[in-house]
């Protein structure tokens, strides 16, 4: 199990694909882990050295006292690629991972070759939403995480997908149920405090924005807001809810890969 030892704990990561291929970093959403990208890795790893990792507070990575910040999570990525002697890389992040991607594009622009921002926004929800969720999980612990898993199905997937693919829905939502309450709350604070609305114009990396037409969390309009402000950005709208890479499958993988290879 590959682990990078940071100053305050270990970051879990996984590498797939040829050692001499260009690097693609995949960043998970809030409440999932690196396995959320399982469907994409076979295709992506034919062309890229695919680097996945469990964001701090998730999966097998370190859980440290919160609150966290997107800057802190972005610096974890830079520490990881530096330790692996990776100078430049493409980056694809979903939801919270997309916020990390925006931070990297603004603060480590020379490292990025291409940027894919999936089911994300420059500002996600409001303080009241996040503060309420933080209080709920810190007070309720593992039981609250289980209840959050059940509530997340309607946010993460369309009813049709949830009915047709119950096994896949269970696989993904179980990631949330087993996430550390402390780690989850710390990351909720990072998402709460992130706001790149006034900085998007400074992003220079070639950018693809992916949105789900049934996503009620980060909507098509949120994607359009980013696309209008990031120079040359393209937008891909998919028939999916919040976890478009899981729900759309090949409909996500093929056009994202085409963009990355362009």
- What pLDDT is recorded for position 215? 98
Tokens of 189: 């604070």
Q: What is the CATH number of the domain that holds 225?
A: 3.40.50.1820
C-alpha dihedral sign at 202, 109, 117, 79:
negative
When the pLDDT of each residue in the chain is averaged and rounded to a whole number, the result is 97
Q: Give the position of tokens 């040359």.
A: 232
Phi, psi of 176 (to 5 degrees): -70, -45
Domain count, the chain: 1
| Domain extent for 19 | 3-261
Taking the CB of residue 201, how many other CB atoms lie within 10 A of it?
Answer: 10
pTM over cut 0.85: yes
Q: What is the pLDDT of residues 23-82, one digit of tens each?
A: 999 999 999 999 999 999 999 999 999 999 999 999 999 999 999 999 999 999 999 999
Taking CA atoms, 213 is separated from 26, 106, 169, in Å, by: 22, 27, 19
By CB neighbour count within 10 A (0-12 exposed, 13-18 middle, 19+ buried), where does 258 fall? exposed
């Amino acid at each position: 199990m590959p682990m990078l030892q940071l100053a305050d704990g270990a970051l879990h990561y996984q590498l797939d694909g040829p050692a001499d291929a260009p690097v693609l970093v995949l960043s998970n959403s809030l409440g999932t882990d690196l396995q959320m990208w399982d469907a994409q890795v076979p295709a992506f790893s034919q062309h890229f050295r695919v680097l996945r990792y469990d964001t701090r507070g998730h999966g097998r990575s370190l859980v440290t006292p919160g609150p966290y910040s997107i800057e802190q999570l972005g610096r974890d990525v830079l520490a990881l690629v530096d330790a692996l002697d990776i100078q430049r890389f493409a980056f694809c992040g979903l939801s919270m991972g997309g916020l990390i991607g925006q931070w990297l594009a603004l603060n480590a622009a020379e490292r990025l070759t291409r940027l894919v921002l999936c089911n994300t926004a420059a500002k996600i929800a409001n303080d009241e939403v996040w503060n309420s969720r933080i209080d709920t999980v810190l007070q309720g612990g593992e039981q609250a995480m289980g209840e959050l898993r059940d509530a997340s199905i309607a946010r993460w997937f369309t009813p049709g997908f949830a009915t047709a693919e119950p096994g896949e829905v269970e696989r993904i939502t179980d990631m949330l149920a087993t996430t550390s309450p402390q780690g989850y709350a710390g990351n909720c604070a990072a998402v709460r405090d992130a706001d790149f609305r006034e900085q998007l114009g400074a992003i220079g990396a070639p950018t693809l924005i992916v949105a789900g037409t049934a996503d009620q969390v980060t909507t098509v309009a949120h994607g359009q807001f980013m696309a209008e402000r990031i120079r040359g950005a393209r937008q891909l709208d998919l028939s999916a809810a919040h976890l478009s890479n899981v729900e759309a499958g090949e409909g996500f993988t093929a056009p994202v890969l085409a963009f990355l290879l362009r």
